[in-house]
A and B are shown apart, each in its own frame.
Chain A
Amino acid sequence: MYKRKLRGPLIEGDKTLGQITREVLNPMEVKPGKWWYIAMGLSLIATLFGVYAMYVTVTKGIGMWGVNNTVAWGWDIINFVWWIGIGHAGTAFSIFLLVLRQRWRTSINRSAEIMTVFAVLCAALFPTIHMGRVWNMFFLFPYPNTRGPLWVNFNSPLIWDFTAVSTYLLISASFWYLGTLPDLATVRDRTASKVKKAVYGFFSMGWTGSSRQWIRFESLAFVLGGITSVLVVSVHSIVSTDFAVGIEPGWHSTIFPPFFVVGAIFSGFAMVMTLMVIVRKIYRFTDYITDNHMDAIARILIFISLIMGTAYATEIFISWYSGSEYEIFTQFRNRITGDYYIQFWGMILCNAIIPQLFWFKKIRRNWIALLLISLCINLGMWFERYIIIVTSLSKDFLPSSWAPYTPTLIDVGVFMFTIGLFISGILLFLRYIPIMAVSELKGVLRIGDKKDD
Chain B
Amino acid sequence: MTRSFKIGIFDDEERFIASVKTLHEKGFLIYDVFTPYPVHEIFNMLKRKTRLPTAAYFLGLTGAAATLGFLVWACVISWPIVYGGKPFNSFPSFVVITVVITILFVALGSLAVFSSAAKILPGRENTIFDLRSTDDRFVIVVETVAPDGSDAENAGNLMMKNGASEVVVKKIEKVIS
Contacts and interface: CB of A to CB of B under 8 A. Distances in A.
B66 interface: no
A138 to B, nearest CB: 17
A308 B105 CA distance: 34
Interface stretch (B1-9, B129-137, B145-153, B162-170): B129-137
B135 A154 contact: no
Given A148-B79, A217-B38, A220-B114, A154 B33 contact: no
Contact of A206 (B38, B49, B74, B120): B120
Contacts of A202: 122-123
A210 B75 CA distance: 49
Interface residues of A, number: 63
B126 interface: yes
Given A170-B108, A171-B103, A223-B52, A440 B121 contact: no
Greatest chain B CB density within 10 A among A16, A163, A186, A211 is at: A211
A349 interface: no
B43 interface: yes
A216 B135 contact: no
Contacts of A17: 36, 135-136
Interface string B103-146: 11011101100100111111111111101111110000000000
A439 B60 CA distance: 30
Interface in B14-66: 32-40, 42-43, 46, 48-50, 52-53, 56, 60
Nearest to A222: B53
Contacts of A189: 128, 131-135
A186 B136 CA distance: 10
A160 B103 contact: no
Interface residues of B, number: 65
Interface string A216-244: 11111011100110110010001001000
Nearest to B99: A234
Contacts of A407: none
Contacts of B124: 205-206
A263 B43 CA distance: 41
B154 interface: no
Interface string B166-177: 000000000011
A323 interface: no
Given A154-B74, A211-B46, A238-B96, A206 B119 contact: yes
Interface stretch (A2-10, A127-135, A174-182, A266-274): A174-182
A208 interface: yes
A202 B123 CA distance: 4
A209 B103 contact: no
A142 interface: yes
Contacts of B118: 212-213, 216-217
A324 B131 CA distance: 70
B32 A167 contact: no
27 contacts: A17-B36, A17-B135, A18-B135, A149-B78, A149-B79, A151-B75, A155-B83, A167-B100, A167-B103, A171-B104, A189-B133, A190-B134, A201-B125, A202-B122, A202-B123, A208-B126, A208-B133, A211-B33, A211-B35, A214-B37, A215-B50, A216-B50, A216-B52, A219-B52, A227-B60, A230-B103, A452-B40
Given A155-B83, A452-B40, 19 more contacts: A17-B135, A148-B79, A154-B74, A154-B97, A155-B86, A171-B103, A182-B36, A189-B131, A190-B134, A202-B123, A206-B120, A208-B133, A210-B33, A211-B34, A213-B118, A216-B118, A223-B106, A227-B60, A238-B100
